[in-house]
Amino acid sequence: MNILFIEDEKELAATGVAQLEFKGHNVFPAYDTAEARAVLDNPERPVHFVITTRSITEPANHQPTHQPTHQPTHQPTHQPT
C-alpha cells in the first residue's frame, strides 16, 4: 500500500515512516502541506492512504468532485411536555 505520511516534526516522521516500511508499505513522507500536495499531484505515485495530524484544506477555488447524496436531518422522536 502507498501511504502519504504527513508530519512536520522530523523525528516523529522518521519513526512513523520506519514503522510503516517495516510493515511492508511504500511511504511518501511530507513535512508540510506543500510537500503533501506535490506527492498527491504526482500521477506516478498513487496514494492509497493518508496519515496526518494536520488539517488539509483545499484552495478557495476548489470545486468538490463528489456531492453527498444524502443530507442527514435531525427529527425529534418526542415533543417536550
C-alpha cell at 7: 508530519
Which amino acid makes up residue 17? V
Choose between 5 and 68: higher pLDDT.
5
Residue 15 domain boundaries = 7-22+30-46
Q: Is residue 68 part of a domain?
A: no
Q: Is residue 2 part of a domain?
A: no
Mean pLDDT of 1-20: 95
pLDDT in tens, 14-39: 999 999 999 999 999 999 989 999 99
Distance (Å, whole) CA 34 – CA 52: 14
Domain count, the chain: 1
pLDDT in tens, 35-64: 999 999 999 989 999 999 766 555 545 454
Q: Is residue 15 part of a domain?
A: yes
Q: Is residue 71 part of a domain?
A: no
Residue 63: C-alpha distances to residues 15, 46, 54, 56, 69 (Å): 35, 21, 21, 15, 16
Q: Is residue 39 part of a domain?
A: yes
Q: Is residue 77 part of a domain?
A: no
**DSSP calls for 20-38:** HHHTT-EEEEESSHHHHHH
